[in-house]
Chains A and B, each alone.
Chain A
């Protein structure tokens, strides 16, 4: 089954404790992206990657890191999480550029205390 998987689905952590949210897709997609969803703000792009070893900032990259060492994986790293990073996070992938339909993962609900 073609899908985007994220882990964990739910995470409660404390300020400053480094964490990684994993994202994996099995569709051989070149383009991958991370979004956060907040009430009244919709989905905002954090980082995206056009291909292996190619990443770029989205609209709200501060406080986040990403890497793309393999085509299928695109982890999101919070080196020192803060409460304003409490949000619902989605990973997405698509063929080439985002003009194509993006496939979203199920989401990760992160709470930073």
Chain B
């Protein structure tokens, strides 16, 4: 039972445009959400997080939005850069950290 789902395995955008990565969850007990970025041959690295008491958190070019009623969160990257090309994992915390399947983002120059 996949409690955290990233329905888009891949996303391709042009440099300078906005990238929007989506994540849906089913467990209403999740109280904290995170995004991790992973480059090939490296471990995931933490990118940005949001508590369930908030609906938005911004850090530079990265903004995470949380819609609790829809059990949906999204990561916006503006403007997108070629160096942002990586796999992005959404994760949620209830009693444990649960990851989604990941979305491969490719930013084309």
Contacts and interface: CB of A to CB of B under 8 A. Distances in A.
Contacts of A107: 41-43
B96 A48 contact: yes
Contacts, number: 51
A104 B44 contact: yes
Interface in A2-42: 4, 33, 35, 40-42
A50 B91 CA distance: 19
Majority-rule SS of B interface residues:
strand
A41 B101 contact: yes
Interface string B26-61: 000000101010000111111001000000000000
Contacts of B6: 42
Interface residues of B, number: 23
- Of B36, B93, B96, the most chain A CB neighbours within 10 A belong to B96
Interface of B: 4, 6, 9, 32, 34, 36, 41-46, 49, 89, 91, 93, 96-102
A90 B43 contact: yes
A99 B32 contact: yes
Given A42-B101, A43-B99, A44-B99, A99 B45 contact: no
A59 B9 CA distance: 22
A90 B41 CA distance: 11
A40 B101 contact: yes
Nearest to A6: B43
A106 to B, nearest CB: 5
Contacts of B101: 40-42
A101 B46 contact: yes
B80 to A, nearest CB: 22
